[in-house]
Each structure stands twice: as structure tokens, then as C-alpha cells.
Amino acid sequence: MISVEEALTCIARATRPLPIVELPITAAVGRTLADDVASDIDSPPHDKSMVDGYAVLASDLAAGPV
């Protein structure tokens, strides 16, 4: 058995990054994005979230099962 570090080294030696290709969105099915995607517009154009998150008091969970 080899260590994780050795395995990662083997993988890095056996592979190479693929080139970045720009193409229409309709041709991108099954591909992976090379960068983040951002929009110039808000969608929806208004605040829609009814709940932005939840707060939990840790002491309320102390008696719960683990």
C-alpha cells in the first residue's frame, strides 16, 4: 500500500491539465467549467428569500442523540 502523498504524486505524473476551450453553452453539455460564471442581472430581480438561514442554540442540542 502507498501513502496518499505517493498516490497523488503518481496521479500528477500520469495526467496533465486539459486546455481551456470556449464554446457555445449549447455545446457544453457534459463539460466542466474552467472558471466561475457570473451574471450582469439579478434573477429574480427582487429579494425572494423568505428565510436566509437558521439559528440554533447549542444548549438546545446538548440532550439530543448523537
pTM: 0.39
| Of 47 and 66, more confident | 47
Domain definitions of the chain by residue range:
1-25
Tracing cell 446538548 back to the chain, one arrives at: 62
Q: What is the pLDDT of residues 17-46, one digit of tens each?
A: 999 999 999 999 999 999 998 889 887 787
